[in-house]
Amino acid sequence: MSNSTKRKVAIIGAGLAGTTAGLGLINAGFDVTIYSDRDRASLRNDVPPTGTAVYFGKSLDYDAEIIEDLYDAGTSTGMSVRIFSGAGEARTPVLAFDSPFKYKAQAVDTRLRADDRLARFLARGGKFQVRAVTPRDLDAIAADVDLTLVATGKGGLSSLFPVDTGRSAYAEPQRHLLLATFKGLHHADRQFAYRSSDGAKHNWFTIHAEFGETFFGPYLHKDIGASWAFIGFAKPASPWIELFKSVTDTQRARDVVVDLFATYFPEDAALIEQLQPLHEDPHSWFLGAVTPTVRRAVATTANGHPIVAIGDAAISFDPIGGQGAQTAVIQAASLVRALKTHAGKITFEWLQDQFEKHWNNRGDAATEVTRLFLGDPKYATHAELLFAAAAVNVDIGTAFLGLLSEPQPLLGIQSREDIIKLISDRAGEPAESVLARFKPPQQFARAQSAERAAVPA
């Protein structure tokens, strides 16, 4: 154990979770070493971002306890949702709503966020060791410090923490993912007005009821700055899976997204085809799939030293509900907060108590909101009623999107009666009257081609 007056911390992994905890603990006066399997330049330049990692509202407050807001792009203020069903001649619009957030959302490249944290961590005396830590190393590392955090992401050392089957709703991935970043359209472009009251400041969530979902919105890329994030979520057996699998480089990523919109969401095609591949960053795209998993986040090494998992190593989410990065920074900031006032020994039991608090504060609700966005049968009534009500009343859409920032209220809205009450309360009139006004749209407004949009009205 440490002889220094400062308490010693080892953090394995320098992604968003590891660097957030590292900077927070250095600021709080701990002696911190971060171990990373890549050096700083490689973390920034040789790997794709772990995800789009939009912070929706509340997580920005937690993040502000760790680092000042450095970013002036990638901000969004609402969401334009459109749902379609069927294909070809049988393709039909199901519903749409465009609602503002009651908060700010911010999508910044995880590589940049982590690098900015690492820069400050190093400047304030943090130590950084480049090595891939094995379970055996971990035992020796943990023996020498007061606290060991495992922040190695979904893979890495997460298997040291057993899956909590009681808290994990799924045993396999629910979506095949394509993430890609593009340039070519301006964040203030007026062409976006056909979908949203706030133009390009509203993200798009465009859903095909049978095949999957797409997210598209403003993003801050680590090198080029203002840019566009796309995520495709293909359901099992969706024809999108083969399309995604054909992506091999930045150009093909762009062509596949253009093709996807042209075939399934042609209303947006004229705008999407103006996107350009981000050749500057060969790691601006990736294919993936996440098994949503909750782990028993506190374990011991071979010689009985406690270790705690943070970020994706503790809870990994399907990204459809945008919860992973948010939950990671909330967990890291909450742990830093608790450690500042905990003078005693950092025991297994104390760490377990902290994780239970995190589960109750965020993890449980974030897991449930992800199930809602995945269209899990548990939340079929929520989706049916809330989407229809949001299409009629903009405030219901805002309340629904509030769950991305603060998912906790969902835990108290479980029965049909709870949902009806929410709709009535938000609308100021009986839910039945709101829902009776819902009519499926005949068609949706279309994007104009760039040339036509440029002609003054």
Ligand X SMILES: Cc1cc2nc3c(=O)[nH]c(=O)nc-3n(C[C@H](O)[C@H](O)[C@H](O)COP(=O)(O)OP(=O)(O)OC[C@H]3O[C@@H](n4cnc5c(N)ncnc54)[C@H](O)[C@@H]3O)c2cc1C
Shortest Cβ distance from residue 344 to ligand X (Å)? 27
Q: Is 88 exposed, middle or buried (0-12, 13-18, 19+ CB in 10 A)?
A: exposed
The answer to the question of residue 231 lying near ligand X (CB under 6 A) is yes
- Shortest Cβ distance from residue 453 to ligand X (Å)? 28
User: Based on CB atoms, which residue is closest to ligand X, 94 or 163?
Assistant: 163
| Non-local CB neighbours of 70 within 8 Å, separated by 6+ positions | 116
Interface with ligand X (CB under 6 A), residue from 48, 51, 126, 402: 51
Chain centroid to Cα 314, Å, comes to 15
What x-and-dash track marks residues 87-126 binding ligand X by CB under 6 A? Answer: -----------------------x----------------
Question: What whole-number distance in Å separates Cα of residue 85 and Cα of residue 290?
Answer: 25
Q: Which is nearer to ligand X, 110 or 250 (CB)?
A: 110
The amino acid sitting at 226 is A
- Residue 369 CB-half CA count within 13 A: 25
Q: Is 133 in the site for ligand X (CB under 6 A)?
A: yes
- The token pair that represents 135 in the structure block: 């379970």
Q: Rounded CA gap, 15 and 115, in Å?
A: 9
Residues 6+ apart with CB under 8 A from 362: 327, 330, 331, 407, 408
- Which residues, other chains included, contact 387 with Cβ-Cβ below 8 Å and sequence gap of 6+? 81, 83, 95, 97, 400
Nearer to ligand X by Cβ, of 40 and 357: the residue is: 40
Q: Give CA–CA dist 433/429, Å, rounded.
A: 7
Selected binder of ligand X within 32, 151, 234, 275 (CB under 6 A):
151
Q: Is 301 in the site for ligand X (CB under 6 A)?
A: no
Q: Could you tell me the smallest distance in angstroms from the CB atom of residue 308 to ligand X?
A: 13
**Contact window for ligand X (CB under 6 A) among 90-98, 294-302, 310-318, 441-449:** 310-318
Answer yes or no whether residue 312 interacts with ligand X by CB under 6 A: yes
Report the distance separating Cα 66 and Cα 337, nearest Å: 10
* Strands 306-309, 147-150: pairing kind: parallel
Q: Which residue, 117 or 426, is less far from ligand X as judged by CB? A: 117
Task: Please identify, using beta-carbon distances, which residue of 231 and 435 lies nearer to ligand X.
Answer: 231
CA 251 to chain centre: 25
Structure tokens at 170: 């799924």
Beta bridge partners of 83: 95, 207
Is residue 227 at the binding interface for ligand X, with CB under 6 A as the rule?
Answer: no
Here the tokens at position 103 are 């908060």
In this structure, the number of other CB atoms found within 10 A of the CB of residue 51 comes to 22
DSSP for residue 295: B
- Segment near ligand X (CB under 6 A); pick from 11-19, 193-201, 248-256, 421-429: 11-19
User: Which residue in the set 9, 66, 145, 179 belongs to the binding site for ligand X (CB under 6 A)?
Assistant: 179
For residues 383 to 422, the per-residue mask of contacts with ligand X, x marking binding by CB under 6 A and - elsewhere, is: ----------------------------------------
Any contact of residue 149 with ligand X (CB under 6 A)?
A: no
**Residue from 152, 181, 196, 227 binding ligand X (CB under 6 A):** 152
Query: Which residues of this protein are in contact with ligand X, per CB under 6 A?
Result: 12-18, 35-38, 43, 50-54, 110, 132-133, 151-153, 156-157, 177, 179, 231, 288, 290, 311-313, 319, 322-326, 328
